[in-house]
Amino acid sequence: MADMKTFCGRTNPITGALDWAEESEEYDYHQEIARSCYADMLHDHDRNEKYYQGIRAAVARVMARGEKVFVLDIGTGTGLLSMMAIAAGADFCYAVEVFKPMAEAAQSIVEKNGFSDKIKIINKHSTDVTVGPDGDMQVKANVLITELFDTELIGEGALPSYEHAHQNLVQDGCEAVPHRATVYAQLVESELLWSWAQLQPVEVEGGRLVPPPAVGRCAGAHAVCDVQLSQVSPSSFTPLSPVCTMFSVDFSKPVSSAFQCHSTQFVAQSDGRAQVVLSWWDLHMDPGGTIVCTMAPSWTYSQPKRAPWRDHWMQSVYFLPTESRVTEGDQLSLTVCHDDYSLWYSLQPNSQQDTQAEAPPSRPCCTCQAHLVWTRSRFGELNDRRRTESYVRALHSVLRDDGVCLAVSDGSLLPVIAHMLGARKVFSLENSRMSKQVVEQILEANAMSRGVELLEVRPEQLTRNDLRGEQISVLMGEPYFSTSLLPWHSLFFWYCRTALSGLLRPDAAVLPGAASLHMLAVEFQDLWRIRAPCGNCEGFDVSPMDEMVQRSLDFRESREAEPHPLWEYPCRALTQSAAVMTFNFTQCVPQQPISSQGSLPFIRTGRCHGVALWMEYHLTDDITVSTGLIGPISEQGDCEWSRHRKQGVYFFRSPWQSPGDGRRQVSYSFTFQPSSGDIKMDFSITA
């Protein structure tokens, strides 16, 4: 019988067409491996060293009691912590890993290091593991090692896993590494961070666009906002509280996954608007708390440059359900609640504590739909005054008194702004019912429902009847689409413009009129670690993991760029930035491919880890909006990146050394395929 092929339909984010691609378990396997960030964890020397110290101490305590040491390692990953336990003197280790490719990698690594007789890899979820003569484990463990944590500490199901382990898999009074976790929080006022949660009023030509009341009252999305807080300057927020200890979890004792609340009282340090809670946690690897692995941002350190970098664990930003005024000296109470997977915060005066104890704060839930339609970075983009001013100036230059505008962007304020600037009629295509309803709320709040008509229809299906017989004089877009991951995915606007060409006046203006793809060769301060081979980690050979990741990368048809928010990941420019490809939106998408080749000389010394890529949109001949670099490159090569969009990063398989004398250069080749919307790219070093 012939093998059955499976085909999966996906909407192409650039062309908008439904593409059918052959799928297989093999493809999914390699995709999972290629996207894994185990290299980041293996390169985290601070994490590994603290775990090793804690494991040696725990094993020594059990041995000192005259007991054999049986270890349970939940979420073993590469098997590194299990090997540490055996090297520390443990008698046997049960290493549990639910993800099959990682369990296979762990088995290879354990065998390569000669530990296969003392480490058993169990490819199951820990809650399915059994103990007994015929079970997965022969005996219950007296040392519990785990790495089940995420940025929010408990988001990967740590509490239910610990709860089950203490009930079924470990002995009473077992040693645990880590021994304890402690969660910290700080209440702040921050215009920058609050702009990621609430739509702010927009000033347009003396008029004012106000957010809908329902959006202002909404508690927002419940999901945590995880960021590299070290890259959020302390000058961008005002602390209203000290750093507060919110709660601790002792992992050596039975753990509960039930709903809980914890409150901390403090005196307000300054006047301000209570808006945002910054949060992070520490792992105490031993009972005495002498071995600590902290997630605190670098600006809490006396020497910030000594703060360890990690991307698998970052810091958390929580937005309060509503902002409130506080005065220096106020007695306040900050409350954190959690279920088995997530945390949320609330603020009350001390006088309300008794009431709060009877009715704990409910988990935030979006009721306005805006927080379901717009991401946090999208909120920030819509609240960017300078960016809005660029669009206002550009619209001014193309609008006519009898102008009829058509907007093509998801959940955009452009149609509202065009109406405020005097457009006779404005139509807007919305890609989803929910997005349409959010914009309808904005129109209603600003009494503009008659001036702007929202159409839930695909561009190629739009007819003149939908436009009430009108011809479009201005086709506009930011462009922004919720389906875009990489910067050039917003070229979907170009395909929409092509589909709509028959509805445009011969002299219609298209805004933006063009876009350009830009590149820059860079040296990353830390981001390179997520793709760097590990080879040896704390004295253990983990090269089978490197080999598996490389095979997975080779399995893909071509190497690809990845989306990353570069404002969170500092890098140095080793070349000048350059526009490497231009797309003319005043014309339809061409039939033939567009190609571009060239080279950029290295002008600064450093290790070139890859290329940063972004789009710039030329609204008019003299007004450009960048989704990448937003300021000049410093003399040292430091870059300032837009916080609103992710940039593309193409990692080289191994770093290239830049002499910085201009004699070596990075050569590039780009090809845009109109039929698929793909941009193929290739790079090399030339003398």
CB-based contact 540:83 (threshold 8 Å): yes
Residue 134 sits at the vertex; the CA angle it makes with 128 and 135, to the nearest 5 degrees, is 25
Q: Own/partner pairs for 492-496, CB < 8 Å, 24+ apart?
A: 492/13, 492/14, 492/15, 492/16, 492/677, 493/408, 493/409, 493/585, 494/583, 494/585, 494/589, 495/14, 495/15, 495/16, 495/459, 495/589, 495/677, 496/16, 496/408, 496/429, 496/459
In Å, what is the CA distance from 447 to each residue of 208, 367, 440, 442? 12, 22, 10, 9
- In whole angstroms, what is the distance from residue 200 CA to residue 334 CA? 25
Residue with tokens 């807080």: 229
In Å, what is the CA distance from 443 to each residue of 48, 209, 254, 426, 446? 54, 9, 54, 12, 5
- In whole angstroms, what is the distance from residue 60 CA to residue 485 CA? 49
Q: Is 533 exposed, middle or buried (0-12, 13-18, 19+ CB in 10 A)?
A: middle
How is residue 644 annotated by DSSP? S
DSSP 3-state of 656? strand
Sheet (strand 331-338) strand order:
260-267, 331-338, 343-349
The DSSP bridge pattern shows strands 141-146 and 119-122 to be unpaired
Write out 570-615 in H/E/C secondary structure. CEEECCCCEEEEEEECCCCCCCCCEEEEEEEECCCCEEEEEEEEEE
Active site residues: 147, 156
135, containing H or E segment: none
